[in-house]
Structure 1
């Protein structure tokens, strides 16, 4: 019976992309880079089929440690791109290599039926809760459930990878509904081999994302 369930899950599509690195400043002296995680799926494991959130490298490190602990060593987790003591916010090649490594990590994580049952993974991918709030929510210590936290998170519209690549070649843009008060947002340009970050674009992207409601921040 378990084998049939695993086969059913493996036949479902879960596409994930890590893209759009941006420099975020804590203050004048401290800054970091976060990345957009886009998920598009038809899997029954996910309540929300399309989502977009931003996470930084240290949160990926937390996720791996949490998944390893929760799985009780029943799954060998893939490695993250190594922490580089000489990592520079001004080095486009280093940023690109890390971004690709983070995407590969998530792609491998999402192939495991056991890990797909972990609430922390779902909150990491589909909510903008901090890691401490993710832990509290997964443990049932918040006034909102995991499903509510996921559903509250803002959504940015994008299509399949194939459609997006066609749109990119045509230089088209994707609009929100005419009644939306949000400005137009460019289509999500996704190319797994060429989703690189130039120094001129880091931190200056004109795209805007919808934020979660105040109840889930």
Structure 2
């Protein structure tokens, strides 16, 4: 039987570093029954620069054996107040992940799993994938997909907490995903004034072995 991997990129939000600096991040929801993923439901938020990092790592790790899809182009005139530009970028990021998840070779890359199912920063994802952290990739995926850890001590504290369940049921807090495992496709629309984009879905198959 084909294994299902459904991914959504949606809900762009403006995040402020300080009064002068801000950026937009996007919610990535993953729902799968694939043996390639330990977690079957997850939700994280990522910004465009993190997508750029992911593509660079996948390209380096695959050693050009996999043809990687392109990210939406950088726009020097990109505006946080332009809902059309934000929507187009979000759609491009969604297409990028869809194509990545169709490639069995890339599904074995730990950087991809950390990107999709943890909220570790780029530097911590890179260190974890290289084995330079006190926690493994599996431990990072198990415990840190709901929030960013401000320090390694925070992660160690979470890892020390006993939990008998898989905790997947608490991963995706969006009511739409709780009520409907696989939402029906919706027509593409422009982002609303509050920058909440429409959800997108595409069901794809992957023929891969266990990680």
TM class by shorter chain equals 0.7 to 0.9
Q: Does 1:137 align with 2:133?
A: no
- Cα separation, 1, equivalents of 2:18 and 2:130: 32
Superposition misfits of 4+ residues, deviation over 4 angstroms: none
State the partner residue of 1:200: 194
The structure-2 alpha-carbon separation of the partners of 1:196 and 1:15, relative to structure 1 and needing over 3 Å to count, comes to farther
State the partner residue of 1:160: 181
- Cα separation, 1, equivalents of 2:108 and 2:186: 26
Equivalent residue in structure 2 for 1:37, among 28, 31, 38:
28
Q: Does 1:125 align with 2:116?
A: yes
Report the number of matched residues.
166
Q: Does 1:16 align with 2:7?
A: yes
- Cα separation, 2, equivalents of 1:196 and 1:147: 38
CA RMSD of the aligned region, Å?
Answer: 1.5
The structure-2 alpha-carbon separation of the partners of 1:61 and 1:146, relative to structure 1 and needing over 3 Å to count, comes to same
| Stretches of structure 2 lacking an aligned partner (at least 5 in a row) | 147-170, 197-211
The structure-2 alpha-carbon separation of the partners of 1:19 and 1:134, relative to structure 1 and needing over 3 Å to count, comes to same
Equivalent residue in structure 1 for 2:63, among 69, 72, 86:
72
- Cα separation, 2, equivalents of 1:119 and 1:200: 34
TM-score, with length taken from structure 2: 0.75
Equivalent residue in structure 1 for 2:105, among 109, 114, 128:
114
TM-score, with length taken from structure 1: 0.73
